[in-house]
Amino acid sequence: MESIWVRGPTEFIMTKTNLFDLNYAALSAFLKAMGEPAFRAKQLFQWMHQRGVVDFNAMSDMSKRLRERLSETAELTLCTIDSEHIATDGTYKWVMRLSDGNCIESVYIPEDDRGTLCVSSQVGCVLNCSFCSTGQRGFSRNLTVAEIIGQVWIAVRRLSEANGEHDRRITNVVMMGMGEPLLNFEAVVSAMDIMMDDNAYGISKRRVTLSTSGVVPMMQRLREISDVALAVSLHAPNDALRNILVPLNRKYPLAELMQTCRDYFKVHGKRRVTFEYVMLDNVNDKPEHARQLVDLIGDMNCMVNLIPFNPFPETIYKRSKRDRIDAFWRTLEAAGITCVTRKTRGDDIDAACGQLVGDVQDRTTRSQSIEQRQIKLKEQLDAFR
Ligand code: SAH
Ligand code: SF4
């Protein structure tokens, strides 16, 4: 945790520790190593996350000597807002620029009884789900803790500047922005710790949700160390179809994924898993799919979120028709499964699920363009139907 000296082109330069990379435990250890008493961590954490102060010199209840020492060894660095978009329904989207030039996106969705911030975990995504704009655009890198929690820090500040202190608050966080959070496990878990910490954002653990496309080993690890809410992106009730929609299914097929979900909630007994199911016209929305889904999850303590597909320019998919979504919903409800159809928000600013793209310097070695991949996908689906 201490600052490291590294050899620069002509001299030794010191890399400072970015304190936004540290959760409470790590910040305590950092300060302890400096010989500081335990209460300093609480003070410093509150300055950074609750008061939003990013200048050590403004931290008036800390001694001048400590502020100087912190300035020498540490820094308080966050991403910056590249642009802000406000939809007619009050949804905000921020494009945030990172120090290496990549951009990520975060979205705030106000509702009557809550305010939800949708946070990104990676620049792009390697998992390449065929209906997801983020996945189709490739992957650059994992976000740091500072870049993840920085999205919350910036959103809190912007919302209070724009609306006044109490008008628009963040009551819920969903890790449903760009990226697969379980493929950036350590940083995401640390950032979620900070979200839930009473000396930082104090969000209840039931109101922090991690959404995964089903990275089975990491779900098992998460179960052991965190009790945030879990959402699983299911999208298909059988392996053949899920292999096409969520290619990760070839590695972790449904039987394994379902067993992991059951185990997850043996531990976190009182809560239930949320399954997300994107409604794709004539692909996964037929009556037989609803029946298969009932067979797959009917005995679990779960709920289902039906997400009307949000289109993006290159896609071959279409949003399911309203009557198909309603019929699907009725089949699940009739089987006793709680089912909610998600309202699409932020349509006019491309802020809806699966539309977040940022500005990703793709480092994957995909040989085909998005357009070529969509043609191949159409062939796969036609063969399947
Ligand atoms: N990688 C994680 C979290 C980010 S995606 C995951 O896949 O769960 C957040 C949610 O948006 C997921 O349920 C995902 O399947 C869904 N999604 C992706 N593209 C979409 C689209 N075009 N329309 C609607 N939902 C989409
Ligand atoms: Fe990645 Fe999730 Fe998009 Fe799949 S749906 S490509 S896992 S961000």
CA of 91 to the centre of ligand 2 (A): 21
Q: What angle do CA 100, 372, 120 make, to 5 degrees?
A: 35
Q: What pLDDT score was predicted for residue 264?
A: 85
- Cβ–ligand 2 distance for 125 under 6 Å, the answer yes
- Cβ–ligand 2 distance for 130 under 6 Å, the answer no
Which helix H or strand E contains 68, and what residues bound it? helix 64-73
Contact 50, 170 (CB under 8 A): no
Task: Please report which ligand is nearest the Cα atom of 310.
Answer: 1
353 catalytic residue (yes or no): yes
The CA distance from 361 to 100, in Å, is: 10
CA of 233 to the centre of ligand 1 (A): 7
72 catalytic residue (yes or no): no
Which CATH number applies to 4-75: 1.10.150.530, 1.10.260.40, 3.40.190.10, 3.90.1580.10? 1.10.150.530
Q: What pLDDT score was predicted for residue 1?
A: 43
Q: What pLDDT score was predicted for residue 10?
A: 55
Q: Domain spanning 80-384 has what CATH number?
A: 3.20.20.70
Please choose from 233, 257, 318 the residue to mutate so as to test ligand 1's pocket, defined by most ligand atoms within 8 A of CB. 233
Report which of 322, 321, 313, 323 is spatially closest to residue 357, judged by C-alpha positions: 313
- Cβ–ligand 2 distance for 132 under 6 Å, the answer yes
What helix, strand, coil percent values describe the chain, rounded to 5? 40, 20, 40
CA of 184 to the centre of ligand 2 (A): 13
Contact 259, 297 (CB under 8 A): no
Contact 242, 254 (CB under 8 A): yes
Q: What pLDDT score was predicted for residue 335?
A: 97
Which helix H or strand E contains 230, and what residues bound it? strand 229-233
Report which of 172, 300, 141, 152 is spatially closest to residue 232, judged by C-alpha positions: 300
Q: Which atom of ligand 2 is found nearest the CA of 213?
A: 7
**How many Cβ atoms sit within 10 Å of the Cβ of residue 282?**
13
- Of 105, 147, 180, 276, the active-site residue reads 105
Q: What pLDDT score was predicted for residue 2?
A: 46
One digit per residue, pLDDT tens: the chain, 385 residues? 445 555 555 555 678 999 999 999 999 999 999 999 999 999 999 999 999 999 999 999 999 999 999 999 999 999 999 999 999 999 999 999 999 999 999 999 999 899 999 999 999 999 999 999 998 888 999 999 999 999 999 999 999 888 755 467 999 999 999 999 999 999 999 999 999 999 999 999 999 999 999 999 999 999 999 889 999 999 999 999 999 999 999 999 999 999 999 988 776 566 789 999 999 999 999 999 999 999 999 999 899 999 999 999 889 999 999 999 999 999 999 999 999 998 888 888 888 776 777 778 887 877 778 778 888 888 888 877 7
Task: Please report which ligand is nearest the Cα atom of 182.
Answer: 1
Q: What pLDDT score was predicted for residue 355?
A: 76
Q: Which atom of ligand 1 is found nearest the CA of 311?
A: 22
- Cβ–ligand 2 distance for 135 under 6 Å, the answer yes
- Cβ–ligand 1 distance for 350 under 6 Å, the answer no
Q: What pLDDT score was predicted for residue 47?
A: 98
Handedness of CA 125, 128, 129, 132 (dihedral sign): positive
DSSP 94-137: EEEE-TTS-EEEEEEEE-SS-EEEE---EEE-SS--TT-HHHHT
The CA distance from 267 to 262, in Å, is: 9
Report which of 173, 315, 289, 179 is spatially closest to residue 234, judged by C-alpha positions: 289
- Cβ–ligand 1 distance for 233 under 6 Å, the answer yes
**Could you tell me the two tokens for 372?**
């070529």
- Where are the chain's structural domains? 4-75, 80-384
CA of 133 to the centre of ligand 2 (A): 8
